Amino acid sequence: MALEIEIKVKVPSLDTIRDNLIRNGAELIADQDEHDLYYNAPHRDFAVTDEALRIRYLANQTCGKAMPPNVTYKGPKVGREGFKSREEIIVDLSSAEEYCLILERLGFYLTAEVIKHREIYQCRDAIVTLDNLPGVGTFSEIEASFSLTEDEAISVINRTAEMAGISGERLTKSYLEILLDSRNPKNTI
């Protein structure tokens, strides 16, 4: 179990951020298409409890170490303004399809699928992602190393954002929430 501390910013373009990362020595560690299947529970509504249960698998990976499918539990969001912090538990799977079948047999049901193209860059004490969600927009996330305290993580995130040129409103919504909002024009970001 770890506490994920990150920021997410909707950006008009990923090109300048990518250039800044490369110029400052960040290493591209993965370039992949991610499919995230979000499930809800039969006994409580994760939208109400602010939790998430996600199955992630890769559809295409052009660079980086092969990542097995995994299931992730994310607890309710906590943390300071503009920073998203939440408990995160990840378990690798041998078969995403069979795990989804188990969930469905137990009464869990698919809420949505989020598809994104993601480039992952390793910076000092942080990971920066450049994400393109078709039909939704382009985003960048900065996640601090799990080994840092909250204050250290916030400092690293702020320095990394400045170095990479990632600016704008920091969103605490998940990609699932952003996708669902994009489908409902009354709640757009």
Active site residues: 38
Nearest-10 crossing angle of helices 15-23, 150-164: 110
Q: Which residues contact 45 (CB under 8 A, 6 or more apart)?
A: none
Task: Kindly tell me the burial class for residue 33, based on how many C-beta atoms sit within 10 Å of its own C-beta (0-12, 13-18, 19 or more).
Answer: middle
Q: Which residues pair with 31 in a beta bridge?
A: 63, 119
Question: Encoding tokens for residue 145?
Answer: 């190393």
Distance from the first to the final alpha carbon of the chain: 30
Task: Kindly tell me the burial class for residue 13, based on how many C-beta atoms sit within 10 Å of its own C-beta (0-12, 13-18, 19 or more).
Answer: exposed
